[in-house]
Amino acid sequence: MSRLLATALPAPGTPRLLAASWLVNTIGSGLYLPTSSLYFTRVVGLPVTRVGIGLTVAGLVALAGAVPIGNLADRHGPRRVFACVLVVQSAAMLAFTVVRSFPAFLACALLFTLADQGSNAARGALVAAAGEGAERVRLRAYLRVVTNLGMGAGAGLAALAIQANSPLWYTVLIAVNAATFLGAAVPLRWLPPDTGRHPATDAPHSPPVSRWHVLRDTRYVCTTALCGVLNLQLQVISFAVPLWVADHTSAPKAMASVIVVVNAVMVVLFQMRASRGVEDDARAAALCRRAGVALLAACAVVTLTSGRGPAPTIGLLLVFAVLLTLGELWTSAGGFGLSFNLAPESAHGQYQGFYSLGKGSSQAVAPSLLAALCLGGHTTAGWLALGALFATAGLLMPIVVHRAPAARPSGRPDPLTPPGAP
């Protein structure tokens, strides 16, 4: 048992401390996500449309802060920056407990989402500092497993408050979530003060990377965009599936929850295995291609669930859940590898901040896109169009990774070019 536990846990030191911080943070997210819309509508008293508009505006505006905060992480160390944004997130979340107007809600949402974008950049830089190559990817995959466990635990606790349907309990959950950000900062105290500062950053012969260098890196920009398209699948399961099951199939409405459970269990069991070898760029790009094909297959299967009896529909939805989750596993694994492999060692904060823009943008546009394509009047054609979009992004990934030019700092080699290559 002790040997099994040792292999299941990340290495002592920085990886294990990051895992502890991640677990506390994601438990808070699990508390917040299922109850936030209920809190804002039933306790704050805002109409649903205003809540949606406010969160969308805040999310889009906050995208602009990802790269600048990433640059701060490169300059001052991601440990310090990550701790600071966690404190800001805690303060913004706690402020939600007293807001009772739309302007105050929007201000808190802007502050919170801006800090959230910054935390993505700083956390990515911290993971990059925890090792090299396979070590980074293994840790990132492990942290994704931790995310599913933490979110599941938090959502389970949130279900109790939802069942009580009490303004007091909704408010308590918001306050507890605010406390989890401070709890997530505690393990960071034991990290070395210079965690995240690569030795090459301070070497006199290593020229610095400009603050917006990533925008000249065609390969990284295109990779980020394609991963953003593939990450639309995250909103398929949370936004489109419940509405599709309820309004377009004869399956029990509880099948939407069953699909979520299948997804979570598969991620916990197989994310580490799916991420093996993605320190190799060719394998990482190939996994993204495989993800696009799996997601196309999932979209094709889901079109068959409309107009059938309950039993075959349930079977088809389970096949859909497996295919969709395979696409998610391979998208995450390929993205983990490429986001680290293609970035200069001295600019992981900047590059991880930019990489988070792809996912953030896809999450912002996904609800309206999925509603138009998959939940409107031409559902079969819409699902197939979405699948074709996934497949195209996956098929383009190997081409982009191996043919698009990478911007290089003056005097610094391309991170993908072997020593001695022309």
CA dihedral 54, 59, 65, 67 (to 10 degrees): -170
DSSP alpha helix (H) spans, 77-101? 78-95
Instruction: Give residue 62's pLDDT.
Output: 84
pLDDT reported for residue 219: 94
Residue of 93 and 60 predicted with greater confidence: 93
Which one is predicted more confidently, 298 or 72? 298
- Structurally, at CATH architecture level, domain 12-189 sits in Up-down Bundle (1.20)
pLDDT, mean of residues 198-224: 69
Per-residue pLDDT band for 195 (boundaries 50, 70, 90) equals low
Distance CA 354, CA 169 (A): 37
> CB count, 10 Å around CB of 372?
13
- pLDDT at residue 127, as a whole number: 85
pLDDT, one tens digit per residue, over 359-391 is: 888 887 887 888 888 987 778 999 999 999 999
Q: How far is CA 8 from CA 4, 72, 363, 383, in A?
A: 6, 33, 31, 38
Is 412's pLDDT higher than 80? no
pLDDT in tens, 72-83: 888 888 899 999
At the fourth CATH level, which superfamily is domain 213-403?
MFS general substrate transporter like domains (1.20.1250.20)
Does residue 260 surpass a pLDDT of 90?
no
Domain locations in the chain as residue ranges: 12-189, 213-403
Q: Which residue has the higher pLDDT, 4 or 324?
A: 324
DSSP label at residue 130: T
Nearest to 101 by CA among 142, 38, 50, 174: 50
Q: In CATH terms, are 12-189 and 213-403 the same topology? A: yes
